[in-house]
Structure 1
Amino acid sequence: MTTIIAFIFMFGLLVFVHELGHLIFAKRSGMLAREFAIGFGPKIFSFMWDETVYTIRLLPVGGYVRVAGEDPEIIELKPGHHIGLEFNEQQKVNKIIVNNKSKHSHARVIEVEKADLDHSLKIHGYEVDEDEKLIFDVDPKAFFVMDEKETQIAPYDRQFASKTIPQRAMQLFAGPMMNFVLAIFVFLIIGLIQGVPAEEAIIGDVQPDSAALEAGFQKGDKVVQIEGESIRTWEEFTKIIQDNPEEELTMLINRNDQTQELTVIPQKVETQGTTIGQIGVQLALEKSVIKSVQNSVVQTYEWTKLILVNLGMLVTGQFSIDMLSGPVGIYDATDQFVQRGLYTYLTWTAALSINLGIINLLPLPALDGGRLLFVGIEAVRGKPIDPQKEGVVHFIGFALLMLLMIVVTWNDIQRLFL
């Protein structure tokens, strides 16, 4: 049960933060965000606030922010349609009843001649059985009412395509950006609570039955010399240890402002086909707000670099698709990290957030990076690509991503049960 709760929280947090970035910058640029969704498929829960419907959906495979203009508008008024109109105090149309007009006794029924709900916000038409042509002004925040469900209209200036290239690019980039911000924040929390690695060669925990314990090392000891060579950093200390397995080393340490000399023989350890020395100590952690901030940025950078290297190996064929993990594999890994403790789980969460940000920035159809690519092409050529053609590309890309997800999930299940 603990793992299930931890996985749901982690998944929800990563998707929520990612989509929140898209939502914030959509609203900042004046776009109409119709829906903020976590998950895909049937709705489990929903509510509306500030023009946006917030939903939780059944399938935990991502999320989305649906901005007006990104998809074809669902309702279109054509000549000859009979519609009902309701008005606000300024005598502007605030509800357009598409069907079931008999349920709206106060609605004024007209036959549409033409309607422009993108620019002029006017409906031209005739009252039923009347010849007089009428023109109605439409409120920019009017609603369609179809099957008793209200959908806000989207004038062109509220649509994605109406915004400048920088505004659209920022709205698309904001999701991945927020994943990196989340990673920095999580690493900062870890640093503030647990501490950050000390820069100097200060001993943290000493492992039982280790060469260090036998030599007399204690927590808090600061190594200042090894075989007469000055030691300033933990990296210098560990390099000498690793390079001298089963060799006697004389070390000068500082303990409680007093200098002592200790002799230790690193144990020989085989790792990845290489023999190194180890004495069984861990680096000390220190608490510092400034160093925690610095470390959170460094940790995010190092994880980003590691993920990019592995991604490059996947592209060049050094990793196979069988090594990828989907939701099942991530759940299994989460179970292992939860058992190792809170800080390991939080580090895993931050790493996944970085991974989500990087993957979404790849220039692939249906991903944020793919859509950014189309915006970039528009900036270069001076005009947008045909929206229908772009939509087809993204649809095919989304279908292929779903296929990849199925294959990866099947591989996860096989690894678990075979």
Structure 2
Amino acid sequence: MNNLFVILLVALSFGLLIVGHEFGHFIVAKMNGVKVDEFAIGMGPLVCKFKGKETMYSLRLLPIGGYVKMLGEYDDSDNEISEEDKKRAYIFKHPLRKISIILAGPVMNFILAFIIFWGLNIFEGYNSTIIGEVVDGSPAQNAGLEVGDEITALNSKKFLNWSDFVFELQNVKNKETINIKVLRNNQEMEFNINPEINGNSIIIGIKPKFIENAGFFESISNGFKETISEIKQVIGSLVYLITGKASFKDLGGPVTIFKVSGQAAKAGFAELMNFTAFLSVNLGIFNLIPFPALDGGAVIVNSIELITRKRIKQEILAKINYVGFTLLILLMIFVTLKDIFFPIV
């Protein structure tokens, strides 16, 4: 595949994530009667713009995000906002309305991931939890698992789909013996498996049955399960990272994401879309972290306002967000340098 075409596909993928996230903020702001002054894709210097009925839509040079600039978002002075504009100013809206606007961005990322997974299920199919192949001489075969068995539980834990099963399998605490429950001819059976350990990977020697031409409603169900599964896995990975069960060496930044996106694009449009859905979930969860300059931080601020019924001064919030944004930029620089000098792909 032509490298220029790959770069274009990756750019469109990133653009889809940004547009989806910011559109969530935009549409819910409109629903709550807030005037949106600018809808921007990208950050930094202006590349081009056009004026809508009341909103300026702009494309900016740096492809590191975007923003929705709302009337009165950072101003609360009576001298700065007229009485007429106060009706449509973000700052004067009820905290619950502001929280709904803030949460709409991450929620739209989850909805976007669902739509992508749903489409992939319809046009490409999906991996079921039915065993499609048992490797000869593998731990699974030695334990008695057979093709056609439907896996229902791992160490008594339920899971959503094949991806969720693999994630749970790779993170079991006791790696000496694994208990798997299956349905065989509508009867539940239980097997204890002694897996092979290859580095940090647990191998039992089975592959899933691939379901082609999934139906409309089946695709909706599986799209929903895949979205929830990705959310669960991303949160689980963050917990492992924070608790030290995972290494910061495995943390990828912009360079790694671009490399992996390029590899996915070369593998085909479906692979790129699958990775885009994964990134969309990551973006949604990352923005929900309760940290200044992120959506999660803004939710905390408005929750405090809701409880105390007092608005925090905007100049204080501006300083807190500035510090938060600076720390995020430093983190981005750190992981970018790590990507360059200690790549994981």
Task: Give the Å deviation of 1:227.
Answer: 6.9
Whether 2:45 is the aligned partner of 1:118: answer no
The answer (yes or no) to whether the contact 2:96–2:306 under 8 Å persists in 1 is no
- Which gives a bigger RCO, structure 1 or 2 (Cα 8 Å, sep 6+)? 2
Which of the numbers 308, 314, 317 marks the counterpart of 1:381? Answer: 308
Query: What TM-score, normalized by structure 2, do the two folds share?
Result: 0.77
The answer (yes or no) to whether the contact 2:74–2:91 under 8 Å persists in 1 is no
Task: Give the Å deviation of 1:270.
Answer: 5.3
Q: For 2:342, what is the secondary structure of its paired residue? A: helix
Provide the identity percentage: 33
Q: For 2:58, what is the secondary structure of its paired residue? A: strand
Counting only pairs closer than 5 Å after superposition, residues 4-23 of structure 1 correspond to structure 2 as 4-23=7-26
Which structure has the bigger radius of gyration? Answer: 1
Give, in whole Å, the separation in 1 of the partners of 2:202 and 2:288.
40
1:116 to 1:359, Cα distance in 2 relative to 1, 3 A: closer
Q: Tell me the residue number matched to 1:67.
A: 70
Task: Give the Å deviation of 1:178.
Answer: 0.1
> C-alpha deviations, 1:114-155, integer Å up to 9, x for none?
x88511xxxxxxxxxxxxxxxxxxxx5xxxxxxxxxxxxxx1
> C-alpha deviations, 1:247-273, integer Å up to 9, x for none?
xxxxx99xxxxxxxxxxxxxx965346
Q: Tell me the residue number matched to 1:187.
A: 117
Give, in whole Å, the separation in 1 of the partners of 2:264 and 2:39.
30
Give, in whole Å, the separation in 1 of the partners of 2:99 and 2:201.
47
Give, in whole Å, the separation in 2 of the partners of 1:368 and 1:331.
24
Aligned residue pairs total 302
**Alignment RMSD (CA, Å):** 3.5
Give, in whole Å, the separation in 1 of the partners of 2:149 and 2:75.
63
1:388 is aligned with what amino acid? Answer: E
Q: For 2:56, what is the secondary structure of its paired residue? A: strand
Q: For 2:292, what is the secondary structure of its paired residue? A: coil
Hey, which of these two has a bigger chunk of helix by percent?
A: 2
Whether 2:261 is the aligned partner of 1:334: answer yes
Which of the numbers 328, 349, 369 marks the counterpart of 2:276? Answer: 349
1:323 to 1:378, Cα distance in 2 relative to 1, 3 A: same
> C-alpha deviations, 1:72-98, integer Å up to 9, x for none?
49xx99xxxxxxxxxxxxxxxxxxxxx
* Structure 1 alignment gaps of length 5 or more: 78-114, 120-139, 141-154, 213-225, 243-251, 254-267
2:15 is aligned with what amino acid? Answer: G
Q: Tell me the residue number matched to 2:61.
A: 58
Which of the numbers 71, 84, 94 marks the counterpart of 1:164? Answer: 94
Task: Give the Å deviation of 1:276.
Answer: 4.9
Q: Tell me the residue number matched to 1:41.
A: 44
Hey, which of these two has a bigger chunk of strand by percent?
A: 1
1:310 is aligned with what amino acid? Answer: S
The answer (yes or no) to whether the contact 1:322–1:408 under 8 Å persists in 2 is no
Whether 2:290 is the aligned partner of 1:369: answer no
Q: For 1:284, what is the secondary structure of its paired residue? A: strand
1:116 to 1:386, Cα distance in 2 relative to 1, 3 A: closer
Counting only pairs closer than 5 Å after superposition, residues 154-303 of structure 1 correspond to structure 2 as 155-198=85-128, 200-201=130-131, 203=132, 211=136, 232-234=149-151, 271-272=198-199, 276=203, 278=205, 282-286=208-212, 287-303=214-230
> C-alpha deviations, 1:225-251, integer Å up to 9, x for none?
x97999651569x99xx9xxxxxxxxx
The answer (yes or no) to whether the contact 1:37–1:55 under 8 Å persists in 2 is yes
Q: For 1:31, what is the secondary structure of its paired residue? A: coil
> C-alpha deviations, 1:161-214, integer Å up to 9, x for none?
11112211100000000000000000000000012334555x4xx79xx759xx
Give, in whole Å, the separation in 1 of the partners of 2:64 and 2:130.
44
Q: Tell me the residue number matched to 1:257.
A: none
Q: Tell me the residue number matched to 2:333.
A: 406
Give, in whole Å, the separation in 2 of the partners of 1:412 and 1:230.
41
Query: What TM-score, normalized by structure 1, do the two folds share?
Result: 0.64
Q: For 2:87, what is the secondary structure of its paired residue? A: helix
Q: Tell me the residue number matched to 1:90.
A: none
Q: Tell me the residue number matched to 1:87.
A: none
1:316 is aligned with what amino acid? Answer: T
